[in-house]
Structure 1
Amino acid sequence: MTTPIPRDIPDLPVIPGRRPKLLPSSAPAGAVVPPVRRPLAAAYRLLLALAALAAVTVEILLGSPTRVLSHFAVQSTLLLAVVTLASARRSWTARRPLPGALTGATLLYVVGAALVHHVLLADATPAFTTTGPTATAALTGPAGTLAALAPPTLHTVLPIAAVLDWLLLSPPARIRLAHAPAWLLYPTAYLAFTLARGLFLPADPARHLYPFQDTDLHGYQYVLGVSLLLLVALYCLALALITVDRTRPNPVPLGAKTGFRLQPPVG
């Protein structure tokens, strides 16, 4: 027969002081869910980046490099190529995705440029091109085919592909409302640049990159009003992207379970 264990051990001094309180802490997802390689996402993003670089290269070869690179759609497409290449590398090597503020800004600029093209420039007279109205008029054969394919790729195919990558291959809820004003800094500076370009360059219709910025034809009040409306529309588009990002489901598969789960507070 064994002796029962006493509930209190005698002759044990009491430890003075209060029991230290553990500080709450949260464990990152990477501490619980192991990273996963995503080769299909990496392949898609690599093709998207190569298509963006190819479209911009064709536009540069067909027109003046300085004029082509001055267009917002071309600049945003180059940013899309760089960001998508970096995202493809992270998907292939099972690293954390790029910050949502960066990928969200890139998507906003590409989609915004596409909407401006289709709403304000697609039906312009004379026809609007980033290379100039006469740069591709006499091209035939393969050069003519590339010249015909580059604009729809730049203004339609790539923006749609970028939206699909964001919706189907990117984790949600990584952008916040505070990002929207910061995203407008670059478009605001760009509009100021194009207005100054048209103001200080010699009198020539080619000094205006966009028809709606022709102050000789429309006047300064109209041009400034359109520029302000474009910034407001871009801000509304940013709010729409943030709303969708906060409510859409997560398409990114999680890694294998580790056998335990950490819940805050941890520590």
Structure 2
Amino acid sequence: MFEKSKSVLIIIFLFGFLFIGCETTYYSMSTAMQNPDNVKVLNLNYTFLREVPPEIVKFKNLEKLILSKNRITEIPPQISELKNLKVLKLSSNKIQSLPAEIGELRNLTKLSIKHNKLKHLPPEIGKLENLKSLYLEYNKLEDLPKEIGSLKNLQYLYLNENHLTSLPHQIGELSKIRHLYIGRNYLDSLPEEIWKLTNLTELDISSGPMLTISNEIINLRLLEYLYVHECFILPYSINNVNPRLRVVIVSPNVIYPYKIFELIYLN
């Protein structure tokens, strides 16, 4: 009898262990407002929102907020009150700017604002010291603040399909960066500091034929994928980068921008 009871207790313990960390996802404000202190994950995708609900600041324990695919045009400064927020998804809205208060979200590890109308980022973005992933594709960014170099833990930075004409030299301070995507912009040169990002495994510089690749690319020993324009001239030193390196040639003439029409394996 004792052994049977012991087995039951073990099973109960195991089930309890399995469900630790499985947070309830709330899909409506009305449901979430019934237990504001318990809300850690709030998903309001496809809810036709035109603004961020002001009541969101009542969710003091919120860790993940998804507001993608709505009609939001601005983010209120009060977003800074969500001190425990780790993931913020704002993709596919109509956001034109971010408040300076975005920099107060010090626990943020993932920020996705792709497919919006951003032209500039506030310098305070550099205060997000725990940020690991930043998705800014398909905006109208004309420049990056030099404070971007303060994101010491950033590993994934996506800037494809913007209006960038240059990059700040401080981008070379992103020592932990693994993926850097800056293709389909208006860049005519790259800062030499890029070739010092020795943890890069993926680099997209398919902006146009005017860009050149420095011989310093030999420093990128971990590089596995390099995306370039079809008219690129590759330096001979690229053969000494990484035996596993794949150079992906991106054509601007195809309808689908990520279509690959040639794949070269360097051995």
**Which structure has the larger Rg over C-alpha atoms?**
1
Larger relative helix fraction: 1
Normalising by the residue count of structure 2, what TM-score does the alignment of the two structures yield?
Answer: 0.20
Larger relative strand fraction: 2
